[in-house]
Structure 1
Amino acid sequence: MAISFQGYTGLYESALNLRSQRSEVIAGNLANADTPNYKSRDFDFHSALHANMSSPNGGGHMRLTHQKHYQMGGGSSGAEINYRIPTQPSIDGNTVEEQVEHAEFMENTLEYQAAFTLLNSRFKGLKAAIKGE
């Protein structure tokens, strides 16, 4: 009997990929905190995960649904990147609020670590089943 790793790790693998991509977007915001007219961006993780998991290939990569969607990472994945609305606009047109970005980055990092821990426990369980423990 063959084991489908994508079926076994589907949600956690997709969550890790999306969390990693979201980290890149937030890190880009933080890197451009002093750039005039830079607009802070982000994407909704939960809707992206739902769209990813309901794709015809059963998860793995986000699909590009519109030609103007932002290309994420490398390959054929894509997600709708939205602009973050600032609570206190800057004079130079920059919408990056460092406190918000740091908080979002830390929350995303913690959730990445949680998904990684869950995926790791799945593999440990699989390893124990193979060994017959």
Structure 2
Amino acid sequence: MVDKIREAMGTYADALKLRATRQEVIAGNMANADTPNYKSVDFDFSQALRQAKTGGKSGSTINTAATHPAHLVKKGKGVNGSDLLLKFREVEKKSLDNNTVDMDIERAAFSENTVKYEAASQSLSGLVRTMRSAITGN
């Protein structure tokens, strides 16, 4: 029984950690919007969450899909301290200083990630309330 509770809560906890990490990555992109030669990065949230759910059994790194091995350029911290490899975000236009940050894309990604973080947080809170109700009978 405890394992099922831990598993259910663990998925939400992993999702919250990864959403927070993604928020930091996107915020970093936005902060570097005026930095010459800065390349916008991101990671595949679904793949990162799948790996977190398996406990990182498929390796210690989260490897996102890329069209070229050199696209995997930075490391962040994933769930349980595993490495989270970030890839360059594909953009249609570059600025004159070779910066690839598109503020419209970054704002949209930031907003979407915020909404999904809040949804996962509320789902976890609901699960805790349900368990508390089941235990206390109220």
Percentage of pairs with the same residue: 39
Q: Residue 47 of structure 1 aligns with which residue? A: 47
Could you list the runs of 4 or more consecutive aligned residues of structure 1 that deviate by over 2 angstroms after TM superposition?
Answer: 2-6, 62-66, 73-77
| CA distance, structure 1, for counterparts of residue 56 and residue 83 of structure 2 | 15
More strand by share: 2
Q: Is structure 2 residue 87 aligned with structure 1 residue 88? A: no
Deviations 1:83-117 (Å, cap 9, x if unpaired)?
01211111101000000000000000000011111
Paired amino acid for 1:26: I
SS of equivalent to 1:70: strand
Change (3 A) 1:74 1:56: closer
1:63, 1:77 within 8 Å by CA — same for their partners in 2?
A: yes
Query: Does the C-alpha gap of structure 1 residues 43 and 106 become closer, same or farther in structure 2, counting only changes over 3 Å?
Result: same
Unaligned segments of structure 1, at least 5 residues: none
Residues 11/25 of structure 1: CA separation in 2 closer, same or farther (3 Å cut) = same
**Which of the pair is proportionally richer in helix?**
2
Instruction: Tell me which of 103, 128, 131 is aligned to 2:133.
Output: 128
* Structure 2 unmatched runs, 5+: 64-72
Q: What's the counterpart of residue 64 of structure 1?
A: 61
Give the Cα separation in 1 of the matches to 2:87 and 2:133. Answer: 43
Deviation of 1:3 (Å):
2.9
SS of equivalent residue, structure 1 residue 80: strand
Tell me how large the CA RMSD over aligned residues is: 2.4
What are the within-5 Å matches in structure 2 for residues 1-133 of structure 1? 3-4=2-3, 5-55=5-55, 63-64=60-61, 70-72=75-77, 76-133=81-138
TM-score, normalised via structure 1 length: 0.84
State the AA in 2 paired with 1:124: R
How many residue pairs are counted as aligned between the two chains?
127
Deviation at 1:56, TM superposition (A): 5.8
